[in-house]
Amino acid sequence: MNELEPRPNPTTSARPELALGYLPAPESMSVLRLRDDYDLFIGGVFVPARSGRRFATENPATEATIALVAEADGGDVDAAVVAARAALASWSGLPGATRGKFLYRLARLLQERAREFAVLETLDGGKPIKESRDVDIPLAAAHFFYYAGWADKLEYAVPGRSIAPVGVCAQIIPWNFPLLMLAWTIAPALAAGNTVVLKPAETTPLTALLFAELVIEADVPPGVINIVTGAGATGAALVEHPDVRKIAFTGSTAVGRGIATAVAGSNKRLTLELGGKAANIVFDDAALDQAVEGIVHAIFFNQGHVCCAGSRLLVQESVVDRVEYKLRQRLATLRVGDPLDKNTDLGAINSRRQLDKIIELYESGISEGATAFQPECVLPDRGHWFAPTVFSGVSPSHRIAREEIFGPVLSVMTFRTPEEAVAKANNTPYGLSAGVWSEKASKVLWMAERLRAGVVWANTFNRFDPASPFGGYQESGFGRVGGAAGLLPYLEVR
């Protein structure tokens, strides 16, 4: 049989009665103790916003309001920075091992309440429960464990130099990995002796506020960790505050550029973790079934709301038909729907605003002449949804090949030689990540040396470890998260 012809499924086609569907397997929400209203977390206590204003955070899978959350203005941000400043001397004066104990405590508490965090992350953000359960929450705990280990060994991060904390750190994070981004920024800052004010994204503030409960439970001194919720204006007030010494911004390149302009000429340090348009490169000698699994994971993990998503697939011309065929077969098996269902592969798009952006870019792909494939799937009536999509016939000038879609949309292009693959992969203003699939390690290493990307995965994609630095080149930002490199932005080196 030709590999491109559809194959009957031996189990089900002969005996249709054996064709098993998936019955609903919803994760229970009984573990959650949701409140109607959430306050700001300043100086170790929950306080309402001074203006009394609140905004709604919704479940993107149903559009139902989950809770109302306090909206911090400039006065609230000032109170949080004052609290962080007041806590700085005593926190940074603690022995490193004692700071480490607090971080270990936070890590263990996160593990103990992992299920609660996973359910809340999925409810507020729309990602499949199996991802928040198996990736987001364990990785967040792993970051606290990892940097707890550094707290009493800081001198080994910069041997032969004296070091000091930077001061009050402002952490502004996006909605795609809310708790993980919190851990990325808070864990190294605290290990290095700094205090922090964190602003979660407007659409996903709830796990940060649940984390504040752990901060109280772990007896972290008041003011060391402060959390102010709100929209872009709250983030801007934090950036502009004169007593902030370091800003860690994770988000879009457009907002990152504005922040870089705002702090230029000030004494504030800045690290930017911004967008991406990663190339995932498949050579004809790759294990193609394995590569197809990697391609699916690279672009459909977290609905494609991933800065390092493999959104540009570059396939060697000789195998493109086989890869596209296998990809379509695999797409037909993806389950899109209730994010709290343990069988779900693709959950809800995080917000109406993000869905509109995806639709706009999808339509540009059609009007510019690419061909879209979407498997048959029934999308729920309510909520924000987009079917997994693969565009073929894409040229490097198409918008879908150049702009970050941040959704479940893949653009397939081809190449003939490794040199052409490098040229096409590097033809982007971004530079966050890339993937190479080949059975030849020498080819993978040759490619890795030439790809302008902060991370290059070999025969895998989207793998993270707290000990491994992550970050970008060019318009993907600067600074590194993870490893000893992730400590440096939080240390004054003398």
- Could you list the residues that contact ligand NDP (CB under 6 A)? 172-176, 199, 201-202, 231-232, 235-236, 239, 250-252, 255, 258-259, 273-276, 307, 404, 406, 432, 472, 476-477
Q: Which is nearer to ligand NDP, 51 or 367 (CB)?
A: 51
- Reduced to 3 states (helix: H, G, I; strand: E, B; else coil), residue 66 is strand
Query: Which residues participate in catalysis according to the annotation?
Result: 273, 307
What's the closest the beta carbon of residue 363 comes to ligand NDP, in angstroms? 20
CA gap 196, 193 in Å, rounded: 10
Min dist CB 214 to ligand NDP, Å, is 21
Q: Beginning with the edge strand found earlier in the chain, give each strand of the sheet holding 455-458 in spatial order.
A: 371-373, 389-392, 409-415, 312-316, 279-282, 433-437, 455-458
Q: For 243-304, give the DSSP string.
A: T--EEEEES-HHHHHHHHHHHTTSS-EEEEE-----EEEE-TTS-HHHHHHHHHHHHHGGGG
CB of 476 to ligand NDP, least distance (A): 6
Closer to ligand NDP by Cβ: residue 154 or 172: 172
- Rounded to whole angstroms, how far apart are CA atoms 246 and 1? 62
Where helices occur in 301-333 by DSSP H, the ranges are 320-331
Q: Which is nearer to ligand NDP, 258 or 418 (CB)?
A: 258
Nearer to ligand NDP, 135 or 327 (CB): 135
Whole-angstrom Cα distance, residue 436 to residue 315? 10
Taking the C-alpha atoms of residue 237 and residue 78, their distance in angstroms, rounded to an integer, is 8
For residue 332, the minimal CB distance to ligand NDP (Å) is: 28
- Provide the token pair at 305: 């709301």
168 SS3 class: strand
CB closer to ligand NDP out of 122 and 176:
176
Given the complex with ligand NDP, which of 100 and 200 has the nearer CB atom?
200
Using the minimum distance from each CB to ligand NDP, give the nearer residue, 167 or 200.
200
CB 4, min distance to ligand NDP, A: 35
Nearest distance from C-beta of residue 468 to ligand NDP, angstroms = 13
CB of 131 to ligand NDP, least distance (A): 14
Place of tokens 């498949």: 282
| Buried/exposed 103-116: b ≥16 CB within 10 Å, e otherwise | bbbbbbbbbebbbb
- Between CA 78 and CA 244 the distance in angstroms is 10
* H or E stretch at 449: helix 441-450
Q: Using alpha carbons only, what angle is made at residue 394 by residues 390 and 399, rounded to the nearest 5 degrees?
A: 95
**Closest distance between ligand NDP and the C-beta of residue 275, in Å?**
3
Of residues 128 and 472, the one with the C-beta less far from ligand NDP: 472
Find the residue with minimal CB distance to ligand NDP. 235
Token pair recorded at residue 372: 């879209």
**C-alpha span between 114 and 234 (Å, rounded):** 29
Pairing mode of beta strands 64-70, 163-165? unpaired
Show the tokens assigned to 332: 């037909």
> Alpha-carbon distance 476 to 252, whole Å?
9
